[in-house]
Structure formats: C-alpha cells, structure tokens
RNA sequence: AGGGAUAUGGUGUAAUUGGCAACACAGCAGAUUUUGGUUCUGUUAUUCAGGGUUCGAGUCCUUGUAUCCCUGCCA
C-alpha cells in the first residue's frame, strides 16, 4: 500500500500512542458476490493493517434480514481467502451482537437520546424537511424515557406490525446535515434472520456499524465517500455511549474499472436475462468469475496494490488490470501450441513423422530465472534443458487461418503464396501450392521444408493434424463496448448501425422506455467467441489447472466447469498484447480484440470548459463600504475583500491600528494569520504587528523573516518585534558571507550543482531553498539570487 | 436551492508540507527476439480558471467553475 492520507493518520496515531496497534475491518454485506470493486476496499483495509503490524477483521454486515444469506457469506469469505487473506479467528457477524446493540439502544433511550416515533414512513420523510427547510418535530418526539422504553420493549416483543414504530436518535431536526435529522435506529420487520433467528426489530446501519466497530476494537474504520455525512452520527454515538478509546471513521474515494459494472442489481439482471451464464461466467467482474477465468490471486492483488488511495471517486484504466494479469502469467505459464482456426498444410517433402523436443519457456524467461531452474506444468522445478515437452511433427499439420494470406497487407510476416515462414521449432517452409474452395478461400496448402539458410521473416505456431487433440476454445473479450457502461456515453459511436437518431432537444417521441440509459445496449456482442481447433498432445499429461500460453494466441487454461478429459474446453484468460493488430486498419483485424477508441466517459472529470468568465462576487452594501474604507487606508484590493467579508479577520485587523503600515499588516492578517485566527489558536496581539512592519520597512528584516517570526508568535504570544530583537534576526546581505554559504551549498550537492551550472535553471529554487535553510531564512533573497545567477550563467 | 466532498499528463497516484513537478499504466520511436509476446532504451504529455502574498506557489490567501454525495424504516 503506497503512502496515502490514511497511512499518514495511522502513523500519527501510532506515534502519539493513541492506539497500541491498528485494527481494521472489511465489512461486506452478504447480499451478493464479491467483485473487483470490493478488491480495492478489502485490500486497503487488510493490507494497511498488515503493513502496520496490526490485525484485520472480516465482518459480515448482515443487519438486513431480507438480503443477507449464508450462501453469500460463504462465497465472500471463500473468495477473500482465495485472494490470500487470513483473518484468523477474527471473523465476525453483525448479527452476533444483536443483543448488545439492543442494550445500547435502551441506554440511549434512558439518556433521552432516542425516542420511539409512531408516524408513517411517508410522514416521517415529510417532517424531515428539505435541505433548506428545517424539519418539524414529530408529535411523538417528546415522549418520556419511560414511555419510550415501554414501547421499544414491546416493539421487540413483537406487539406491533411492520412500520408501526421506529426508534430514532434525538439529534437535531434543523441540522443542515440531513443525516442528523433524527436518524432511524431500529425498524420493525417481521422477517426471521438467517442466523439470528426470530427477531422482529432490526438495527439500522448508522446505529449498528459504529457500535460493531467499537465492540470489535477497531481503530481505523475505512469506508467510501458517500458515508461522509454519516460520520456525524458515528461520532455522536461514540460520544453519547462513551466509548474510549474509540474507533474513527475515514472515507476514501471508490475505484471503478473501465468496461465494468459493479451494481449488484445490474449484474443480477445480466444473469436473469441470460446475457451471461451465471455469477461465475468468466466475463463477469465477480471474483468467482475471475477465478474461473483463470486469473490468479497474485495478479488481482498486484492490481489492487497499484491503485492509489485518495478522496475522489475514480475510474481505473482497464489496462492496469490487464497488465497485472499478463505480468503474472508471463512467468507462470509454460508455452505450448494450439491452433484455434485450422488451415491444413501438407509438408510434401517430410518423409517420416518426427517427435520434436521443444522447450516450454522462451529464452528471456529462462534468463530471468534466479536459480536457473524452470517449472514443468506440474510445478516441478528442473534445469532449463529438461523443461521441454515432445511435439509430434507429421506430414499434415494445421496452422492458423489468419497466418496465411493470399493478398498480404504491407508488413505481413506470415505465410504467403510462394513465401517462407518458420514453423516454430520445426524449420522453415515455403507455400508451393494453394487449394481454394468455391468461395476462393484457401483449404489446403502444399508446402515444402526448406534449408535453414533461406531465412524467414516470421514464426508461426502449428500442431500436427493427426496427432493433436481437438478442443473447444472460448475467447472472452470485455463484456461492454464502452469504458463507462453505467454512464450516458454520449459519444457512443463504436456501433454506427445502432446509433440512435440524435435528438438535440431531448424530446424523442418514442422515449417511453429509458432505453438510452440502459446499460445493456452497451454490451459487446463479441464478448464470447467459441472456436473448435486443436491443441498439442502434451497437455494431456498436465494437471487440470495448468495455465498455458498458447503461443501467439494468449493465455489459456481448462475451463474448470465445462472441460472434460474427452472434451477439452480451454478458456482464454487474456490475449497477448498485439501491436500488429493495433497497427492494422479496423477491417483487417484478426479478432475483435482491438480496443475501441476511447469515448470520454461521463462525468469523471470536469470536462474542460470554455474560460467561463469569472463572475464577480456579490457584495452586500456593508461589505462594499468596508472595502472602500480599507482601500482608502492603503490596503490591497484582495486583502480588503477578505477583511471585509470575514468579520474575524476584519476585527483583528482593526485592533492593530496599523496606520502607515496598513497594507502590510492587512497582507499578513489575510495571508499568514487567517489560519490560526479562524481556528482560534492565535495568541498574537494585533497591536504588535505595526512594529514588525516598521522593521520590515526599514529593511532590517526580510519578509521571509517576518513570516517565520509571525508563525512562531502566533503560537507563543510573544510580540514579533521583540522576538526579532531577542533572536537577533536581521537580513544577511554581506556579499562575502553569502558567497561563502552559496559555495558551501553548491559543494554539498555536487550533482545538482553540476546540472545547475550546465544550465538547469529550475534548480535555482532548490539552491535558494538550501541557502535559506542554511541561514535560518535570514539571507537576502535578492542578493543570493544574483549570486546564483552568476553561478548558472558563468 | 442548503450542507458536505473533490479537482495534478490520456489513466491512476507522488511531491521532503513553500524550494528540481515525479512514478506506474497507456501512447509514440528504436534495439533485442525462432511468440507482431517478453525485456531494454529513448520520447511525447500534467498542477480546473482568474486574481493575490512571496525571491520562489501544485502547496498559503481570495473569487469563481466543474463533478460527486446527502432529503430510505437499504448499506
């Protein structure tokens, strides 16, 4: 996990001793299968704990009895274990603590912090008000604790029907944060829970989640950005219930993946409509599907590790995932050959069948091996010369249809009529005769093996026609044609035939169904191609879960569900990168593997806007008058605006009585002191500012010195001018002295100094900073600047 | 509209907290290659906009703009 704002917080907390160790948790709701979207969140939770020597919990957030099932619990835990996580005994269920939550709810009621409300759902929503309309108290808001307790107990006892009452926190009905307008804590739901049995009241997320964090001893509770507003409830609860030490919630931005959807509802729809074969259809983004596809846990984790963390929702380039998958497979998958779309070649001068011995690994993977050993498909590590398999070469072989062209495009490095090409490991052949079918397509090539000396531009793969194994090949491609299938994709042009009529007014008369926003129409019609071809016989001896690179085709493995000994089914995990296909015009592409031109996805980013003229801010007449008064004093325009609009700053400035130094004092107040003034941590007296300004005006201190002193005085309360006096601060402008320091600094950074002398002017700032550091900020910047220019220039 | 959050190359993140705008992926060019793969080398391109403070601003101040979240008895 690369450093991020959360690790920063953790390091601070660990250092200050706030917590003895980090405890995190990943809290999925068991109402669906884990998918690539969860990978990032779980990785952040788990890996962060690992990194700081803490522990991590897996927790099932199963407070909604209508959604949670044991099947999902098992599946999620299984997938996460597959990813390599081990939470030991720290596997929790929210439902294990229903009894304890209940006790805390009673405590809140007794404290007067919660009440039973008895209005309908609709009414409650109406009473909550709107963002600019404060809520109105429900008629039941002032029930006594006794009354509430009685009602709440009877709720639990099952005396009421669904929705008749709710328990609500009593917080603030007029809060601008809607979450704080007396959120519901418990609802009545006569549904039995898959684990907890016959409860009829269920805790809401906002009540349950913080409590569960606290009960587990979680320290840093990470969740996604949409819960920012909920943090107020979290903190309120922790405070009211007196948890100490207590967990804190931190929010991070979600990470989506291009060409992928993660909405449970939409994924379910794909299955229900038969658009994919199930939750483990290899095209699905679920972990089950990626497992079946053949992606390894190491690759998934490498992917997760590469994604950064911050507080913005972002969509990650699919290439990052593909890169992780390929990088993992390159050194994991032995090379063998398979022909997916066969074209028969007769080797007319091959008299006897041969058994070739070909290496599993290309030269570069061999070179990469640290111990010189290489894996056999079974996993055994052997010396390079033993990492081989037998491959039969017979008079009839198959090559790939796309590896022969009657009229080759420019740059074609494969077989052509009369041309030469190397059959991997079997020598060079020349196509002497081509037999065509009625449609003019080649059906048989008669070729002859040529001596090595003739040379060949390219190498193609092949299998023996008589001694290879028939197999089905499933070629998967991305499920969607567009990078953001859940967005609007206004520039969806990759399917010209289906492009709807452009309707600038957005008033299409046939717009009854929201078809345009329907993600299904972005499905890639070629996301699955099934081919029947042949694979070399060596694979029959290998373990079922061997991942191969079929040379020049991609990475494959046996479909763990559908492949049989007598009916091999290989699924393509991922293609090889193909810079040849990329360079070809669209029509000539061999397969649909090319990537559609990037249609800029919907609103992930502010689409560059015309230089919208900055609207003039609105000022009240009072502000206007105050600004003019300040301007009259000599205060700069920007500073005047700030002082006039922020009463805290304005007032502080006024106390200063700056007189002739008004402009300088105003600048300090606005630019350097606004932070401490607003946070209320300032100890500096405004009346002390003019004296400092006077020193600056006289030239005895620099503005850098003034700034530094100001910062210190804001903390200590000492008059800045007095601090200058006491610390003996003054501008250091003695040329000889400065030159000595500059030389020292240059000597201390020889590499940079050389680059600087060589003309890298950007280093000016670097050296200036070094000089300032060396002199405690007292060097005369102007003088140092000219010294440095001399160095760079001469 | 009220509140909240965010903004750095095409994409995802860094930047010693005011001092060389960097890393990875993608792109482009070249080298190596019995995989149009891999690897290696080089290279293009970035601080949302305007203003201010400063010797120096991605970072501080200010005014805007854009995007996302919040008005479930879901999580």
The whole-number pLDDT of residue A405 equals 96
Rounded Cα distance between A170 and A116, Å, is 10
Q: How far apart are CA A638 and CA A627, in angstroms?
A: 10
Q: Give the nucleotide nearest to A461 (CA→C1').
A: B35
- C-alpha–C-alpha distance, residues A175 and A139, integer Å: 19
State the DSSP string of A399-457: EEGGGEESSPPTT--SEEBT-EEEETTTEEEEEEEEEE-TTS-EEEEEEEEE-GGG--S
Asked if strand B comes closer than 7 Å to A184 Cβ, the answer is yes
Instruction: Of A49-58, A402-411, A459-468, A669-678, give the lowest mean pLDDT range.
Output: A669-678
Q: State, as a whole number of angstroms, the distance between the CA of A312 and the C1' of B7.
A: 9
ipTM comes to 0.96
Residue A129 is given by DSSP the state -
Query: Does any strand B atom come closer than 7 Å to the Cβ of A700?
Result: no
Q: Return chain A residues 8..27 having CB < 7 Å to nucleic acid strand B.
A: 8, 27
Does residue A736 register a pLDDT over 80?
Answer: yes
| Per-residue pLDDT, A585 | 58
Average pLDDT on A681-705 reads 92
CA end-to-end span of chain A: 46
- Rounded Cα distance, A336 and A424, in Å: 10
Q: Give the Cα separation of A182 and A170 in Å (integer).
A: 5
Give the fold, CATH level 3, of A5-252: Rossmann fold (3.40.50)
Q: In the prediction, which pLDDT does A535 show? A: 98
- CA-nearest of A247, A243, A219, A244 to A21 is A219
CA/C1' separation A494–B64 (Å): 37
Query: Straight-line distance from CA A635 to C1' B48, in Å?
Result: 29
Q: For residue A755, is pLDDT > 80?
A: yes
* Phi, psi (degrees; rounded to nearest 5) at A682: -75, 135
pLDDT in tens, A627-645: 889 999 999 988 998 898 8
Q: What is the pLDDT of residue A609?
A: 40
pLDDT higher than threshold 90 for residue A757: no
pLDDT tens sequence across A242-280: 999 999 999 999 999 999 999 999 999 999 999 999 999
Comparing A629 with A296, the larger pLDDT belongs to A296
Q: Mean pLDDT across the stretch A763-767?
A: 90
> Apex CA A670: angle with CA A667 and CA A675, to 5°?
140
Q: Quick check: is A264 catalytic?
A: yes
What distance in Å separates the CA atoms of residue A629 and residue A463, rounded to the nearest whole number?
A: 90
Task: Return the CA Rg of chain A.
Answer: 36
Catalytic residue among A240, A254, A446, A704: A254
User: What's the pLDDT at A679?
Assistant: 82
* Separation between the CA of A314 and the C1’ of B12 (whole angstroms): 8
Q: Rounded CA gap, A418 and A394, in Å?
A: 21
- A372-389, pLDDT tens digit by residue? 899 999 999 999 999 999
Strand B at less than 7 A from CB of A263: no
Residue A789 has pLDDT above 90, yes or no: no
Q: Tell which residue, A695, A683, A646, has the closest CA to residue A666.
A: A646
Of all nucleotides in the shown strands, which has a C1' nearest the CA of A595? Answer: B26
C-alpha distances in Å from residue A717, one per residue of A548, A724, A778: 71, 13, 22
CATH of domain A335-366+384-476+528-581: 2.40.240.10
Residue A540 predicted with pLDDT over 50: yes
Percent of chain A surpassing pLDDT 90: 78
Positions of E strands within A559-617:
568-574
Work out the mean pLDDT of chain A and round it to a whole number.
Answer: 90
Sign of the C-alpha dihedral computed for residues A358, A360, A365 and A371 taken in this order: negative
Question: For position A645, what pLDDT does the model report?
Answer: 86
**Cα A141 from Cα A118, distance rounded (Å):** 9
pLDDT at A531: 98
Q: Predicted confidence band at A626 (pLDDT cuts at 50, 70, 90)? A: confident
Residue A302's SS3 state is helix
Q: Give the domain ranges of chain A.
A: 5-252, 335-366+384-476+528-581, 621-727, 735-793
pLDDT of residue A488: 66
Query: Judging by DSSP bridges, how do beta strands A314-316 and A255-257 pair with one another?
Result: parallel
On whether the CB atoms of residues A732 and A780 are closer than 8 A, the answer is yes
- Can you spell out the DSSP letters for A675-722? HHHHHT-----GGGHHHHHHHHHHTSS-HHHHHHHHHHHHHH---HHH
- Selected residue with higher pLDDT from A677 and A90: A90
- Residue A576: band (very low, low, confident or very high) from pLDDT cuts 50, 70, 90: very high
- Average pLDDT (A109-133) is 96
Measured distance CA(A10)–CA(A29) in Å, rounded = 26
Measured distance CA(A92)–CA(A100) in Å, rounded: 14
pLDDT tens digits along A471-526: 999 999 999 999 999 876 654 443 332 333 223 222 232 323 344 458 999 999 99
Topology given in CATH for the domain delimited by A735-793 = Arc Repressor Mutant, subunit A (1.10.10)
Would you state the pLDDT for residue A794? 54
Q: How far is the CA of A679 from the C1' of B4 (A)?
A: 19
pLDDT at A595 over 50: no
Check residues 223 to 252 of chain A and report those whose beta carbon is under 7 Å from nucleic acid strand B. 225-230
């Amino acid at each position: 996990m690369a450093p991020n704002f959360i690790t920063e917080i953790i390091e601070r907390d660990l250092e200050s001793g706030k917590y003895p160790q980090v405890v995190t948790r990943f809290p999925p709701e068991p109402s669906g299968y884990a998918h690539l979207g969860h990978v990032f969140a779980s990785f952040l939770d788990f890996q962060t704990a690992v990194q700081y020597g803490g522990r991590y919990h897996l927790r099932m957030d199963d407070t909604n009895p209508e959604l949670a099932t044991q099947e999902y619990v098992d599946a999620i835990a299984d997938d996460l274990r597959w990813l390599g996580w081990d939470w030991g005994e720290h596997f929790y269920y929210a439902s294990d603590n229903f009894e304890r939550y209940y006790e805390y709810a009673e405590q809140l009621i007794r404290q007067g912090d919660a009440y039973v409300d008895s209005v309908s759902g609709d009414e409650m929503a109406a009473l909550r008000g709107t963002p600019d309309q404060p809520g109105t108290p429900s008629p039941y808001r002032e029930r006594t604790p006794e009354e509430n307790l009685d009602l709440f107990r009877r709720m639990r006892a099952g005396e009421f029907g669904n929705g008749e009452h709710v328990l609500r926190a009593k917080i603030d009905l007029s809060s601008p944060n809607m979450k704080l307008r007396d959120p519901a804590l418990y609802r009545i739901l006569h549904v039995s829970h898959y684990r907890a049995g016959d409860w009829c009241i269920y805790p809401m997320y906002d009540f349950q989640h913080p409590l569960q964090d606290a009960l587990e001893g979680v320290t840093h509770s990470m969740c996604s950005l949409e819960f920012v507003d909920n943090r107020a409830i979290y903190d309120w609860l922790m405070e009211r219930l007196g948890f100490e030490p207590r967990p804190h919630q931190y929010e991070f931005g979600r990470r989506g993946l291009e060409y992928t959807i993660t909405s449970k509802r939409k994924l379910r729809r794909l299955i229900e409509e038969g658009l994919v074969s199930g939750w483990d259809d290899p095209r699905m983004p679920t972990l089950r599907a990626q497992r079946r596809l053949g992606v390894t846990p190491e690759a998934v984790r490498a992917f997760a590790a590469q994604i950064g963390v911050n507080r913005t929702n972002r969509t990650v380039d699919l290439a990052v995932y593909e890169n992780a998958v390929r990088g993992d497979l390159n050194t994991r998958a032995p090379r063998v050959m398979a022909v997916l779309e066969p074209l028969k070649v007769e080797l007319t001068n091959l008299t006897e069948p041969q058994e070739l011995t070909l290496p599993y690994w290309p030269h570069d993977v061999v070179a990469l091996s640290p111990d010189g050993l290489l894996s056999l498909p079974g996993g055994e590590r052997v010396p390079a010369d033993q990492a081989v398999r037998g491959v039969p070469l017979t008079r009839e072989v198959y090559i790939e249809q796309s590896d022969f062209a009657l009229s080759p495009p420019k740059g074609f490095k494969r077989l052509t009529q009369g041309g030469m090409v190397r059959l991997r490991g079997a020598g060079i052949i020349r196509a002497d005769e081509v037999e065509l079918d009625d449609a003019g397509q080649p059906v048989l090539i008669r070729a002859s093996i040529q001596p090595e000396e003739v040379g060949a531009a390219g190498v193609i793969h092949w299998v023996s026609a008589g001694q290879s194994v028939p197999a089905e090949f499933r070629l998967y491609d991305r499920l969607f044609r567009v990078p953001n299938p859940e967005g609007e994709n206004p520039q969806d042009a990759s399917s010209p035939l289906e492009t709807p009529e452009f309707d600038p007014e957005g008033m299409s008369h046939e717009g009854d169904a929201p078809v345009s926003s329907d993600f299904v129409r972005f499905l890639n019609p070629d996301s699955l191609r099934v081919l029947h071809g042949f694979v070399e016989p060596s694979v029959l001896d290998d373990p079922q879960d061997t991942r191969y690179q079929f040379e020049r085709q991609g990475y494959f493995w046996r479909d763990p569900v559908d492949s049989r000994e007598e009916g091999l089914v290989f699924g393509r995990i991922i293609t090889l990168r193909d810079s040849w296909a990329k360079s070809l015009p669209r029509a000539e592409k061999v397969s649909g593997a090319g990537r559609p031109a990037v249609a800029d996805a919907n609103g992930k980013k502010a689409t560059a806007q015309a230089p919208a003229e900055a609207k003039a801010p609105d000022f009240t007449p009072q502000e206007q008058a105050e600004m003019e008064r300040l301007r009259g004093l000599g205060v700069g325009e920007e500073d005047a605006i700030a002082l006039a609009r922020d009463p805290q700053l304005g007032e502080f400035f006024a106390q200063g009585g700056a007189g002739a130094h008004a402009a300088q004092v105003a600048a300090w107040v606005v630019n350097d002191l606004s932070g401490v003034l607003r946070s209320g941590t300032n100890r500096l007296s405004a009346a002390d500012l003019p004296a400092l300004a006077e020193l600056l005006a006289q030239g005895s201190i620099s503005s850098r010195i003034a700034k530094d002193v100001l910062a210190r005085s804001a903390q200590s309360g000492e008059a800045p001018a007095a601090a200058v006096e006491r610390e003996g601060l003054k501008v250091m402008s003695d040329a000889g002295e400065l030159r000595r320091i500059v030389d020292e600094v240059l000597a201390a950074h020889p590499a940079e100094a050389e680059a600087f002398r060589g003309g890298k002017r950007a280093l000016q700032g670097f050296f200036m900073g070094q000089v300032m550091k060396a002199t405690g900020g007292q060097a005369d910047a102007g003088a140092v600047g000219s010294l440095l220019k001399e160095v760079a220039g001469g």
